């Protein structure tokens, strides 16, 4: 049976963590859902891991539609979330709605939009018109030039206050989930405790209601130095399937992320 927003909300209410990985093609979609992945995120990280770019900024809506359609063909059960790429959600709520409809037509069940309270009006517009939205705060890779690099966010008193306020406003605007990237674990816990919607963490500590990693990272395929919040699940596994199943189990039993993967 297809996982829906209701399935995930019930898991949240029951205290069951959901395990998420990025996915960009049909074959991996089938493999990942067979290993118990609840949500497949068609991330604009495909700009990095598929297209070989150093940022996600050049990923187009057509790229996202193509990969969402590929993932949707391979996934029977897993919930599919797709990223709105850079430049497709910033201009106006109406234009964002128009762009998001194309991702839903390709098979996405939810779109993910980067940005704090500046995106509240857009999120309200979409959710009132039938498009569920995951808001994404903290390190927002599409703002890499504004942020001055891929670095931890929310580690000053004012930035912490700002993120708490953003989270609350985005929930009030109708966001279904809130993804937090690269923020201190204590702050992510505080936000998770305040919210009544599931939080998804990547580099945000173990208190989040769900965890996500980039598939290639957790398979140890990253180029260069491993990020602190990443665990290479292939290191002790004999197959990709075993590595993914270990990840699912580690998320659901709260063993991943461990303190070594958290920012303080």
**Interacting residues with ligand KIV (CB under 6 A):** 22, 43-45, 83, 179, 181, 202, 212, 214
C-alpha 22/C-alpha 103 separation (Å) is 16
Of 33, 171, 181, 262, which one is the catalytic site residue?
Answer: 181
Residue 181 designated active-site? yes
Residue with the CB atom nearest ligand KIV in the bound state: 43
Instruction: Pick the closer one to ligand KIV by CB: 42 or 207.
Output: 42
Instruction: Pick the closer one to ligand KIV by CB: 43 or 257.
Output: 43
Closest separation between CB of residue 7 and ligand KIV, Å? 20
Contacts 24+ apart (CB under 8 A), 246-251: 247/19, 247/21, 247/213, 247/218, 248/19, 248/35, 248/36, 248/37, 249/36, 251/17, 251/18, 251/19, 251/210, 251/211
Instruction: Pick the closer one to ligand KIV by CB: 20 or 126.
Output: 20
Instruction: Pick the closer one to ligand KIV by CB: 43 or 115.
Output: 43
Closest separation between CB of residue 203 and ligand KIV, Å? 9
Closest separation between CB of residue 114 and ligand KIV, Å? 8
Closest separation between CB of residue 22 and ligand KIV, Å? 4
> Which amino acids are annotated catalytic?
181
């Amino acid at each position: 049976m297809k996982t829906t927003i209701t399935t995930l909300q019930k898991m949240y209410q029951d205290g069951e963590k959901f395990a998420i990985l990025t996915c960009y093609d049909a074959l991996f979609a089938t493999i990942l859902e067979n290993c118990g992945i609840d949500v497949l995120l068609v991330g604009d990280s495909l700009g990095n891991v598929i297209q070989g770019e150093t940022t996600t900024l050049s990923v187009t809506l057509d790229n996202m539609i193509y990969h969402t359609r590929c993932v949707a063909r391979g996934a029977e059960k897993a919930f599919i979330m797709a990223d709105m790429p850079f430049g497709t959600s910033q201009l106006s709520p109406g234009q964002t709605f128009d762009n998001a409809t194309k991702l839903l037509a390709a098979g996405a069940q939810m779109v993910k939009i980067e940005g704090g309270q500046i995106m509240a009006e857009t999120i309200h517009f979409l959710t009132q018109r039938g498009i569920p939205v995951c808001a994404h705060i903290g390190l927002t890779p599409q703002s890499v030039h504004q942020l001055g690099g891929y670095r931890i966010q929310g580690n000053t008193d004012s930035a912490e206050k700002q993120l708490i306020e953003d989270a609350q406003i985005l929930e009030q605007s109708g966001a279904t989930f809130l993804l937090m990237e690269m923020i201190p674990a204590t702050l992510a816990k505080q936000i998770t405790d305040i919210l009544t919607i599931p939080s998804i963490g990547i580099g945000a500590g173990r208190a989040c209601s769900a965890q996500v990693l980039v598939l290639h990272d957790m398979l140890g395929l990253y180029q260069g130095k491993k990020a602190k919040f990443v665990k290479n699940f292939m290191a002790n596994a004999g197959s990709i399937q075993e590595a993914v199943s270990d990840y699912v189990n580690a998320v659901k039993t709260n063993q991943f992320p461990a303190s070594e993967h958290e920012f303080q």
